[in-house]
């Protein structure tokens, strides 16, 4: 398989915020050319898929300013520095739904 690795030549943070940072990386592409990559950095987070004992899915109503609408979403939130992912999931589920999880099962992890 071909090596698709891109070498970062320069990195410039163009925005720092409470919820995310944005940086622009100048990279050397595998073929030797240079390119730009826009990278969104955000804290690790959890999304909980809570199912009650009788099979009901718990959702929470949240207003989303980006679309100016209130919608039903899965409970979610940022992992605090040094906090265990399972502890975050339990804390967020309790805070957002009032339910305490009996058990937690990790479904998927991704970057």
Domain limits of the chain?
7-41, 45-97
- DSSP run (H or E) holding 82: none
Q: Find out whether 26 and 10 touch, Cβ atoms under 8 Å.
A: yes
CA distance 59 to 70: 12
Q: How many CB atoms lie within 10 A of CB 70?
A: 10
User: What is the per-residue DSSP string for 19-31?
Assistant: S-EEEEEEEE-TT
Rounded Cα–Cα distance for residues 49 and 58 (Å): 7
* Model confidence band, residue 1 (pLDDT cutoffs 50, 70, 90): low
pTM above 0.85, yes or no: no
For 39-70, write each residue's pLDDT tens digit. Answer: 999 999 999 999 999 999 999 999 999 999 99
Percent of the chain with pLDDT over 90: 93
């Amino acid at each position: 398989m071909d090596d698709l690795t891109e070498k970062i030549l320069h990195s410039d943070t163009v925005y720092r915020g409470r919820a995310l940072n944005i940086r622009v990386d100048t990279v050397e592409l595998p073929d030797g050319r240079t390119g730009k990559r826009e990278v969104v950095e955000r804290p690790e987070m959890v999304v909980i898929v809570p199912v009650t004992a009788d099979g009901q899915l718990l959702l929470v109503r949240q207003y989303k300013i980006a679309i100016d609408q209130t919608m039903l979403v899965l409970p979610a939130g940022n992992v605090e520095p040094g906090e265990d992912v399972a502890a975050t999931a339990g804390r967020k589920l309790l805070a957002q739904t009032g339910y305490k999880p009996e058990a937690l099962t990790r479904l998927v992890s991704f970057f």
